[in-house]
Amino acid sequence: MRKSGILAAVFSLPNEYGIGCFSKEAYDFVDFLSESNQKFWQILPLGPTGYGDSPYQSFSTFAGNPYYIDLQEFVDNGWLSKEECDEAYEEYYESLLKKNYDKKALKKAEKEGKILFDSFQDIGNNYTDYEAQYYARFSLLRRAYERSSIASDEGFAKFVLDESYWLNDYALYMAIKDDKRGVSFYEWEKPLRLREEKAIKKAKKELAPQIGFYKFLQYFFKKQWMSLKQYANEKGVEIIGDIPIYVALDSADTWSNPDLFIFDEDLRPKGVAGCPPDYFSATGQLWGNPLYDWDVHKKDGYSWWIKRLKKCFELYDVVRIDHFRAFDEYYFIPFGDETAEFGYWVPGPGYDLFKAIKKELNKPRIIAEDLGFLTPSVLKLVKRTGYPGMKVLEFAFDSAEDNDYLPHNYDKNCVVYTGTHDNDTVKGWYKTLKRVDKAQLKVYLDIKNVKNLNKDMIKLAESSVADTCIIPIQDVFGFGSEARINTPSTLGYNWKWRILPEYLSGKQRDEAVSYLLRVSKTYGR
């Protein structure tokens, strides 16, 4: 059955406290999708973000991001007040004032009746303010935990028991990490780094309150997310989750399961993941993730991967696996290299892994992110699994007549996008095209001007034979490069963009609903 959906990160949704979360605005967004005849909401990974705030560098592949917990539930429970929530963020923004304005400027502003911290709050409305979450939201979450009656909550006790296979290690890892002021586990003293029994026992005893706090966070994360997912499903909207193929080097996964990775005896990686020079970067992409020891995984029937995917299918209806080609061959970059230029390809587990997954999960609904340069063996693997691959229209126009990303070359078993989280928006992308490629684009779309290029590209995607069509929310509203989510191989400006509330309410919302409804119905989605 032909379907369409929208790609929008949870952090990109409106909310008054500097980041999108599982609040009323998320339920409103589901209503927007349902009214627009959109059958999918594709999100980015939901894990707790680490280095560079990237959802693809998470402290755990099983845990959820505490920043997404809606504070309103704690207000309703009487564990926080609305005034406390407001004050926590106001204090944070006022502290920014002191850092960014001298006393003379502050005194002048006060005399003129100006409230300067509003300008910083505007940053939180337009872009995700991770620092505000770290300082303000976490202090509120701790306060809620200390005031809660969670110890007598039967649901919490059941959650802790059911999720113990990953939760105990994760909560301990985060508690130790906090105690060590956030340093990576491979900088911890050797007894803790290598999980010596005596050191672990001591940490569990001394850090019991912190361990309880992190279990508390995960309980409310899952409770709120499952409520939102159920609401979406009841509205006819399914969730497409997204998981990185790799885990972060500094994570509970690597610390608690070092045998699954290519480490030396001190838990230092021998090699790390990335991509060779390509469309995105002349020196390649150095991700820094540890590499799997696939021989070890194979010996125990890929049990860690099966647990991981079972967890994913609790949280999502469909799972997109990032960088699928690494299951065929993965790129090994010697640890310590400053670029990805001198890595080399090593055989991955191939179909053997997916045979084991199929045996345990029957017919899991998986999307294979098969973008980039694909060898015949990668194409064979994707075909053998039967999973739909991805087609990105922004890759289609490079003056090549036989480009696989041009819609006339598709088969039905694929998912078409105008762009992904790693691409510029359609309007931003067009500005960077070569003149000859712009000409090709206009001929293919049969247009004379690009005034409504985002809508022309959406129509092209929707009209294709691809079974599934996913459109980034930025392209629905025709935003430019300022709304880009991520530029690969860069730091500092990624994973921040948020849609302003007015686009999901009033006239602009109504116009978007009408347009999406019309175009999806026109092309049988």
Catalytic residues: 322, 369, 422
- How far is residue 457's CA from residue 156's CA, in Å, rounded to a whole number? 47
In the numeric block, the tokens 């294709």 are attached to 464
Q: What is the DSSP string of 185-219?
A: GGGS-HHHHTT-HHHHHHHHHHTHHHHHHHHHHHH
* 55's tokens: 């959802």
- Strand order from edge to edge, sheet including 366-368: 366-368, 318-321, 238-243, 40-42, 3-7, 468-472, 414-417, 389-392
Q: Could you write out the three-class secondary structure of 243-303?
A: ECCCCCCCCHHHHHCHHHECECCCCCECEEEEECCCCCCCCCEEEEEECECHHHHHHCCCH
Amino acid, single-letter form, for residue 226:
M
Q: With 0-12 CB in 10 A as exposed, 13-18 as middle and 19+ as buried, what is 70? A: buried
CA distance 286 to 43: 24
Please state whether beta strands 238-243 and 40-42 pair in parallel, antiparallel, or not at all (unpaired).
parallel
Residues 27, 33: Cα–Cα separation, whole Å: 10
